[in-house]
Amino acid sequence: MSGQGDAGSQEHGVSAPAGTLSEPGQPVRPLAKPVTLDSSRLADGLEEEKSPSGGHALVSILGPAFVAAVAYVDPGNVAANITSGARYGYLLVWVLVLANAMSVLIQYQSAKLGIVTGKSLPQILGERLSDAGRYMFFMQAEVIAIATDLAEVIGGAIALKLLFDLPLFLGGCIIGLVSTILLWFQGGKTHRMFEMVVIALLLVITFGFIAGLFVDPPDGMAVVQGLIPRFRDTGSVLMATSILGATVMPHAIYLHSTLVNDHYAKGERKPSIKRQLKGSKIDVVWALLLAGSVNLALLVLAANSLYGMEGTDSIEGAQHAIATVLGPTVGVIFSVGLLASSLSSTSVGTYAGSEIMRGLLHVKAPMWACRVVTLVPALVVLWFSTNPTYALIVGQVVLSIGIPFAIIPLMRYTRDKGLMGQYRDGMVKHLIFILVAVLIVALNIMLVYLTVTGQA
C-alpha cells in the first residue's frame, strides 16, 4: 500500500515535501541545505515577470533621460559653446567634460527621487511647503520657465530666418504652433510616441551640429590637450563660469522626476524599483553622453574652423561663419539642427512648466494654456527687440538664479530616509552632491554678479 501510494504520487506529479529530494526508484532523502527565499526579491521578480510586452527588459525603461537631455542642447548652449571655441580654441574642453559629469549625477538624482517616491520634485515641494511658500516657489519657477522658453523660441525663430528668411516674429509664431502640436502626444498612451519624436529631434540636432567636423576634422591631440584644466586670462575664467553655471537647467531637474513615472501609461505595471534604478543609470549616462558630445562637437568645431573670427558671438554670425568656412551645405545643416533644438527644447520646457504648476499649485492646467503663458513673452521680445541674441544672454542669467531652488531641495530629499527609505543617498554620495551643488551655485552667483556689474 505504501509503495503504491508513492508511485501514484509520482505519476500525478505530486511534489515531495519541502526540504526533500525525490527521484524515481529512490527513497525520499532530505536536501543537504534547506532553501530559503527572500520575499522582497521574490516580489521584485514576480513584478518584472508580469511586466507587459517585455517590460522587464532594460530597453523598456530607456527614454526619460533623452527627453530631459534636450535641455542641454538648447540654442543658449549652442551660442555659448561656439563663442567659447571661437575665442579660446580648445582651452575650455575640460570645462564641458566636467560640466557633463556633474549633470549626470544631478539628472540621475532627479530620476531616482521620482522612481522611489512615485512623485515629482514639484509634487514633494508642494506637499511640504506652506501655502505662501508654494506660491512664492511657483512664481520663481514660472519666471524660470518663461526665461527658458525665451531662449528656445528665439533660437527657433533665428533658425527659420536663416533657412527661409522669415521675419523673427513670424518664425516665433510657427515655433509656438508646432511645439504645441507636439505636446498633444505628451502623457497617457501616446507618451512613448512623444519620447520617440523628441529623441528623433535630438538625433537631428546631433547630426546638424557635428556635420562640420566631418568636413574639417579637428586635431585630435589638440582636443586631448584641452582636457588639461587651465585658463588663459580673466576672460577665459568668465567663459568657463558661463559654461559651468548654465549647464544644469532647473526645468530639466524638475521634469526628470516626472518623466520616469509618465513613461508608463496609467494602469501599466512598472518594473521593480531596483530594475528601474538600474535602467535609469544607463538611460542618464547614454543620454547625457550624447548631449555632452553635441556640446563638445560645437566647441571643437568653433575652435578648429572659426578660431579668431569676428562676429561669432551671435547665432546668426556663427552660422554665417560656418557657411563661409565650411560651405553653404554645412551652414544649412547647422540651421536645421538649430531648428530641431528649438522645437524639442521648447516643447520639453512647456511640459516642465505644466508639471511645476500641477505639483506646486495642485492645478492641472491644459498644456496649451501653459504654452501660451511662456510663449507670449518670447513673441513680445521678438517683436520689439533689435538684438534677440542679447535676450538669450539675459535669459541665461535668469536661469542661473533659479538653479539653487532646484538643486538644494533635490539634494535634501534624496538623503531623506522618510522619503527614500533604503534607497536614500549614502554619506559619500551625499557629500559629493553637496560639493557639486556648492560649485554650481557659486558659479551661478558669480555669473549673475559679473553680468549685473557689466563685466560679463
Average pLDDT for 240-267: 85
Residue with cell 541545505: 33
Task: Return the H-helix or E-strand segment holding 196.
Answer: helix 191-215
Question: Residue 446 in contact with residue 244, Cβ under 8 Å?
Answer: no
Rounded to two decimals, the pTM is 0.83
Q: What DSSP character marks residue 29?
A: E
How do beta strands 29-30 and 20-21 pair?
antiparallel
- Name which of 24, 69, 93 is nearest 256 in CA terms: 69
Q: Please tell me the predicted confidence (pLDDT) of residue 305.
A: 93
40 vs 371, more confident? 371
Question: Residue 101 in contact with residue 72, Cβ under 8 Å?
Answer: no
Q: Please tell me the predicted confidence (pLDDT) of residue 185.
A: 81
Q: What are φ and ψ of residue 29, in 5° steps?
A: -130, 150
Look at 91-95, 172-176, 324-328, 370-374 and tell me which has the smallest mean pLDDT.
370-374
- Name which of 294, 84, 99, 86 is nearest 208 in CA terms: 294
Q: Please, what is the average pLDDT of the chain?
A: 84
Average pLDDT for 237-262: 84
Is the pLDDT at 14 greater than 50, yes or no?
A: no
Is the pLDDT at 55 greater than 50, yes or no?
A: no
Sign of the alpha-carbon dihedral angle for 291, 85, 159, 164: negative
pLDDT digits (tens, 9 = 90+) for 317-328: 899 999 999 999
46 vs 298, more confident? 298
Average pLDDT for 249-267: 90
* Domains of the chain, residue spans: 68-452
447 vs 308, more confident? 308
Residue with cell 506660491: 135
Look at 11-15, 290-294, 420-424 and tell me which has the smallest mean pLDDT.
11-15
Three-class DSSP category at 20: strand
- What DSSP string describes 132-185? HHHHHHHHHHHHHHHHHHHHHHHHHHHHHHHHH---HHHHHHHHHHHHHHHHTT
d(CA 292, CA 403): 19
pLDDT digits (tens, 9 = 90+) for 330-352: 999 999 999 999 999 999 988 99
Q: What DSSP character marks residue 271?
A: P
pLDDT digits (tens, 9 = 90+) for 378-419: 999 899 877 776 777 677 677 777 888 999 999 999 999 999
pLDDT digits (tens, 9 = 90+) for 115-163: 999 999 999 999 999 999 999 999 998 888 888 888 889 999 999 999 9
Q: Which residue type, as a one-letter code, is found at position 310?
A: E
Average pLDDT for 281-298: 94
Cβ neighbours for 208, distance < 8 A, ≥ 6 positions apart? 333, 334, 335, 336, 337, 338, 340, 341
Per-residue confidence at 287, pLDDT binned at 50, 70, 90?
very high
The CATH code of domain 68-452 reads: 1.20.1740.10
Is the pLDDT at 104 greater than 90, yes or no?
A: yes
Is the pLDDT at 228 greater than 90, yes or no?
A: yes
- What DSSP string describes 273-327? HHHHHHHHHHHHHHHHHHHHHHHHHHHHHHHHHSTT-TTTTSHHHHHHHHHHHH-
Which residues, in sequence order, are bridge partners of residue 29? 21
Q: Please tell me the predicted confidence (pLDDT) of residue 267.
A: 81
Look at 57-61, 253-257, 348-352, 375-379 and tell me which has the smallest mean pLDDT.
57-61
Is the pLDDT at 192 greater than 90, yes or no?
A: no
Sign of the alpha-carbon dihedral angle for 397, 455, 442, 341: positive
Which burial class, exposed, middle or buried, applies to 163 when counting CB atoms under 10 A from its CB (0-12, 13-18, 19+)? middle
Q: How many residues does the chain have?
A: 456
Tell me the longest C-alpha to C-alpha distance in the chain. Answer: 101
Cell of 40: 522582497
Per-residue confidence at 272, pLDDT binned at 50, 70, 90?
very high
Which residues, in sequence order, are bridge partners of residue 21? 29
Most confident of 29-38, 179-188, 315-324, 424-433: 424-433
Q: Please tell me the predicted confidence (pLDDT) of residue 33.
A: 42
Per-residue confidence at 367, pLDDT binned at 50, 70, 90?
confident
Residue with cell 571655441: 85
Q: Please tell me the predicted confidence (pLDDT) of residue 30.
A: 46
Q: Please tell me the predicted confidence (pLDDT) of residue 248.
A: 77
Instruction: Kindly provide the b/e burial profile for residues 134-150, where b requires at least 16 CB atoms within 10 angstroms of the residue's own CB.
Output: beebbeebbebbbbbbb
Is the pLDDT at 46 greater than 70, yes or no?
A: no
Distances (CA, A) of 242 to 335, 390, 428: 23, 15, 28
| 296-299: long-range pairs with CB below 8 Å, 24+ | 296/81, 296/93, 296/96, 296/97, 296/100, 297/209, 297/210, 297/213, 298/77, 298/78, 298/81, 298/82, 298/85, 298/209, 299/81, 299/82, 299/84, 299/85, 299/90, 299/92, 299/93, 299/96
Q: Please tell me the predicted confidence (pLDDT) of residue 57.
A: 58
Look at 156-160, 209-213, 314-318, 420-424 and tell me which has the smallest mean pLDDT.
314-318
Q: Please tell me the predicted confidence (pLDDT) of residue 443.
A: 79
d(CA 70, CA 198): 8
17 vs 64, more confident? 64
Q: Please tell me the predicted confidence (pLDDT) of residue 444.
A: 75
Q: Please tell me the predicted confidence (pLDDT) of residue 365.
A: 84
- Name which of 403, 427, 425 is nearest 414 in CA terms: 425
Q: Please tell me the predicted confidence (pLDDT) of residue 246.
A: 63
